[in-house]
Amino acid sequence: MRYIIALIVCIYPLLGSAQEWEDQQRFNDGVSGPPLRIIASTDTALFAPIIESFISENPTTAIEYLVTGTADIDRRFRADPNDFDLVISSAMDLQLKLTNDGLALPLEDIFAPAWAQWRQSLFAFTSEPAAIVINRAAFTGHAVPQSRQDLIQAMRARPEIFRNRIGTYDVRQSGLGYLFATQDARASETYWRLMEVMGSLDVRLYCCSGDMIDDLADGTIAVAYNVLGSYAAARIESKDTLEIILPSDFPTTMMRTAMVSRDAPNPALAEMFIRHLITRQSRPNEDSLLPPLSGPLNKAERATIALEPALMTFLDGLKRRKFLAEWEDAVIQK
Amino acid sequence: MTASLIASGSLRNRLVLTLIGGAAILTLLLFFAIRNYAIQIAQQGQDNILGASATSILDAASIRDGTLEIDIPYASFSMLSTPSDDRVFYAIYQDGNFLSGYAGLSNPSVNPGRRSSFETTQFQGETVRVATAARTLIGAENRTQIRVYLAQTQDALSGTLDKISRNAALFGAGFFALATLLSFWASSTTIGQLKRLTTSVTRRGPQDLRPFEKPVPSEMLALVTSLNSLMGRLDQSLRQSEDFIAEAAHRVRTPLATVRSYAEATLQRVDKQENRQAMRSMIRAIDESSRAAGQLLDHAMTTFRADHLERQEIDLVELVGELVERLTPIADMKDVRLNLRSEGKITCSGDPILIQNAVRNLIDNALKYAPGESAVDIAMIMNPDIQIKVCDSGPGFPPNEIDILATRFTRGQNAAGTIGSGLGLTIAQDVAMAHGGDLLLSNRPEGGACATLSL
């Protein structure tokens, strides 16, 4: 008997290998009926308050929240669009491509300004700038860099401090990292010089924001580039160690987007969830860990990546191959 | 007298309908022309952008170290953003082999050059406009052809078209309303000319057969000309018949007088009672004929003078007084008194002969119907119209015929035993009307007829 249990325990992960998730949680599991399945790239901790407030308004609803990387979301959702009700991702380009490919359900009754929605199918619900997050310890006695240019100079000035202690996304794995990288490259050549310098200092590449911030908090790395400020800000215990810098030279602000699957098993409920999500995120909210959606009209806000077909440019196979080749040339210097 | 004509349609309605129908057709033509034009323009706009975008992708193609690179510019897709968030599809082929984009999007039948060719087709269940452009790259060793298909859905386009169609429809409706108003106005002005002519015909007196001389629109010239010539002929034939009657009456009267005098002479000589009776009847018939001839002459004269009325100042009291004096012997023969009553001096402007004629006919009539030992009252009043009232105490006018008695040759039913032609009242009425007045027939409450001639 013990063997059998041991066997099951051993085999179970193998059986479920196709369904490996970074995190998988069910909310309000007690109620009967199929749960609303949400596939998302946002950490459960950040998104849970939204789900809980939705459940408090709709107590008969169960929600299954599945977390994985942005590129993985794209792959899994394309493979099986009727397995999920809602897709939430920070990779705007992948989300837009899904919508352009007709995989999203248009929701005519939801009001969102033109800049915060695409085809009435894809809805933005946060505005989050890409940030440079530093471990204060590495900069004691030195000026904190305020721009990418400052960061380049700081790294050049003290290469011994930063060697192997810089982190950024592995753009080959992370959809969000790729989006930030391509938008940076589009905006300025500075990005490439920064990558060259980082590459020369043996930059560490991460798949996900979480790991990067973990390493930053325990001092493994001193600087994380293009990480989401919201993730760093959510680490309350690291508040004193970490400093979030929004580069002053050119901004890159991403909007997290949500859509209902065209083949959603439960489209009506999914639409209700989107409506709840947008309403809740349309104004600053004390208990929300995710920043609210702020319009591009607000001058103080940083320029936001527009939801437009141009986002598909860097998803083109040829273009992506070329970009990754250049990126590898710059970053991976063996 | 006037037979009622059956109206066959209405010119005005026909005109209005034609104009409105024309306006409706024009409006529809206008609407479709604008819409068509808008479709062309809008489609051309989308084509231009698609073409530019496809060209920019082709321009980004290059061969480096023997391998093909296509660095799609961000702007290529950015320029395809529309307010309706149209979906964008693309496909890149090298020498017929799929390189990147949406594999299903291709059309090998098109053979494009650097300039894009366009077509509307279906892709992923949506109507899309596809631009196809190609470019040949020449590398170190080989030539290769790059072909780009760029497609966009047409949501924004149809939105624009809907808006334009709505505006065109509003514009058309406005145009139609205006045209309808104008057609009502145009038809009523046109018909107005006809109405004016009708009014001037209606307003004419019964004897007025003068030609129309006021200017009329050229289209009505023929009608008015033929109307004028018809009236001219009518006038002439009327005149001729009047002349003929006068001539005939005149010619008959003289021989009649001769016959009468012979008859009277014969009467003196005949003793046999039945012959005398026959002679008396003969004289009586001759009297009647000669009186009728006289009245016909009077009537012809009245008609002629009324047509060419010559007015002069006349003392009516004197004129009528003279007449009464002249008729007193005849009245005496019938034992009838003629009472003339007048209030001071009454003058008026008119034709003395006509007025005398009219009054004489009235008194004549009164004498004819007045019983013996009675009086005929002739009164002249001014209140403020001048009225000459001749009343007798005879049987009066038959009440049911009082309206038609003044018509030519009409005699009352109760006039059978009396000499007369039926022209007396007609003459009086013609004279009254020629002077702008009227003849009013009534019966006195105490018995007897009353004819009032107002001038």
Residue B267 touches chain A, beta carbons under 8 Å: no
For residue A3, what pLDDT is reported? Answer: 55
Considering the domain boundaries, does residue B190 fall inside one?
A: no
pLDDT over 90 percentage in chain A? 69
Residue A186 touches chain B, beta carbons under 8 Å: yes
CA distance B437 to A229: 112
For residue A231, what pLDDT is reported? Answer: 85
The single-letter DSSP state of residue B400 is G
Are residues B100 and A308, on separate chains, in Cβ contact within 8 Å?
Answer: no
The mean of the pLDDT values for chain A is 88
Residue of A nearest to B80 (CA): A309
Residue B377 and residue B259 in one domain: no
- What's the rounded mean pLDDT across residues A1-20? 50
CATH number 3.40.190.10 is the correct assignment for the domain at A128-253+316-331: yes
Candidate from A126-140, B98-112, B180-194 with smallest mean pLDDT: B98-112
Are residues A308 and B71, on separate chains, in Cβ contact within 8 Å?
Answer: no
CATH of the domain at B403: 3.30.565.10
Give chain B positions within 8 Å (CB) of A310: 74-78, 80-81
Q: Is the dihedral of CA B113, B117, B121, B126 positive or negative?
A: positive
Residue A238: strand, helix, or coil: helix
Structural domain boundaries, residue B392? 310-455
For residue B409, what pLDDT is reported? Answer: 63
pLDDT at A198 over 60: yes
Are residues A316 and B100, on separate chains, in Cβ contact within 8 Å?
Answer: yes
Candidate from A149-153, A284-288, B260-264 with smallest mean pLDDT: A284-288
Residue B130 and residue B142 in one domain: yes
Closest CA to B291 of B376, B387, B197, B361: B361
- What's the rounded mean pLDDT across residues B402-411? 69
Considering the domain boundaries, does residue B269 fall inside one?
A: yes
Predicted confidence band of residue B444 (pLDDT cuts 50, 70, 90): confident
> How many A/B residue pairs have CB atoms within 8 Å?
64
Are residues B71 and A114, on separate chains, in Cβ contact within 8 Å?
Answer: no
pLDDT at B417 over 60: no
Residue B62 touches chain A, beta carbons under 8 Å: no
- What's the rounded mean pLDDT across residues B384-395? 83
Place of tokens 């034939």: B237
The one-letter amino acid code at A319 reads K
For residue B142, what pLDDT is reported? Answer: 82
Candidate from A261-265, B341-345, B372-376 with smallest mean pLDDT: B341-345
pLDDT at B309 over 80: no
pLDDT 10s digits, B227-280: 899 989 988 888 888 788 778 877 887 888 888 888 889 888 888 888 889 888
pLDDT at B1 over 50: no
Min Cα separation A108/chain B (Å): 13
pLDDT at A63 over 80: yes
Predicted confidence band of residue B412 (pLDDT cuts 50, 70, 90): low
Of B308, B335, B369, which residue is a domain's last?
B308
For residue B413, what pLDDT is reported? Answer: 61
Give chain B positions within 8 Å (CB) of A329: none
- What's the rounded mean pLDDT across residues A52-75? 93
Q: What is the full DSSP assignment across A146-163?
A: -SHHHHHHHHHH-HHHHT
Residue A222: strand, helix, or coil: coil
For residue B219, what pLDDT is reported? Answer: 84
Min Cα separation B83/chain A (Å): 8
CA distance A76 to A74: 6
Other beta carbons within 10 Å of B239? 15
CA distance B242 to B306: 13
Among B70, B81, B101, the residue with its CB nearest the CB of A309 is B81
Among B85, B93, B147, most A C-beta atoms within 10 A, so best to mutate, is: B85
Among B49, B72, B89, B105, most A C-beta atoms within 10 A, so best to mutate, is: B72
Burial track A268-289 (b if 16+ CB lie within 10 A, e otherwise): ebbbbbbbbbbebbbeeeeebb
Other beta carbons within 10 Å of A159? 11
For residue A11, what pLDDT is reported? Answer: 46
Candidate from A318-322, B203-207, B356-360, B368-372 with smallest mean pLDDT: B203-207
Considering the domain boundaries, does residue B199 fall inside one?
A: no
For residue B418, what pLDDT is reported? Answer: 61
Residue B381 and residue B302 in one domain: no
pLDDT at B208 over 50: yes
Among A313, A314, A320, most B C-beta atoms within 10 A, so best to mutate, is: A313
pLDDT at B380 over 70: yes
Of B308, B333, B362, which residue is a domain's last?
B308
Total of domains in chain B: 3
pLDDT at A181 over 70: yes
Give chain A positions within 8 Å (CB) of B126: 102
Candidate from A135-144, B106-115, B285-294 with smallest mean pLDDT: B106-115
CA angle A81–B157–B127, rounded 5-degree value: 45
CA angle B230–B190–B210, rounded 5-degree value: 25
Considering the domain boundaries, does residue B189 fall inside one?
A: no
Residue B134 and residue B85 in one domain: yes
For residue A240, what pLDDT is reported? Answer: 85
Cβ-in-10-Å burial (0-12, 13-18, 19+) of B277 comes to exposed
Predicted confidence band of residue B441 (pLDDT cuts 50, 70, 90): confident
The CATH number of the domain covering residues in A2-126+255-301: 3.40.190.10
pLDDT at B408 over 90: no
Query: Rounded to 5 degrees, what are φ and ψ at B3?
Result: -70, 135
pLDDT 10s digits, B122-164: 999 899 999 999 999 987 778 899 999 999 999 999 998 899 8
Among B80, B99, B100, the residue with its CB nearest the CB of A309 is B80
The one-letter amino acid code at A206 reads Y
Residue B45 and residue B120 in one domain: yes
Burial track B175-208 (b if 16+ CB lie within 10 A, e otherwise): ebeebeeebeeebeeebeebeebeeeeeeeeeee
pLDDT at A9 over 50: no
Distances (CA, A) of B428 to A261, B245, B440: 107, 19, 10
CA distance B310 to A87: 112
Residue B21 and residue B83 in one domain: yes
- What's the rounded mean pLDDT across residues B394-421? 69
Predicted confidence band of residue A334 (pLDDT cuts 50, 70, 90): low
Place of tokens 């005849």: B330
Residue B321 and residue B290 in one domain: no
pLDDT 10s digits, B2-58: 557 788 888 888 888 999 999 999 999 989 998 899 889 999 999 999 999 999 999
Residue B54 and residue B147 in one domain: yes
Min Cα separation B126/chain A (Å): 10
Q: From start to end of A93-252, where are the E strands?
A: 117-118, 122-124, 128-135, 166-169, 204-206, 223-228, 242-245
The answer to whether the beta carbons of residues B451 and B428 sit under 8 Å apart is yes
CA A310 to chain centre: 19
Min Cα separation B186/chain A (Å): 51
Closest CA to A308 of A299, A300, A296: A296
Considering the domain boundaries, does residue B209 fall inside one?
A: yes
- Do domains A2-126+255-301 and A128-253+316-331 share one topology? The answer is yes
Closest CA to A103 of B95, B311, B363, B124: B124
CA distance B233 to B42: 72
Residue B337 and residue B435 in one domain: yes
pLDDT 10s digits, A241-272: 899 999 988 888 999 999 999 999 999 999 99
- What's the rounded mean pLDDT across residues A220-233? 90
What are the domain boundaries of chain A?
Answer: 2-126+255-301, 128-253+316-331
CA distance B165 to A324: 49
Residue B289 and residue B318 in one domain: no
Residue B162 touches chain A, beta carbons under 8 Å: no
For residue B206, what pLDDT is reported? Answer: 65
Are residues B81 and A100, on separate chains, in Cβ contact within 8 Å?
Answer: no
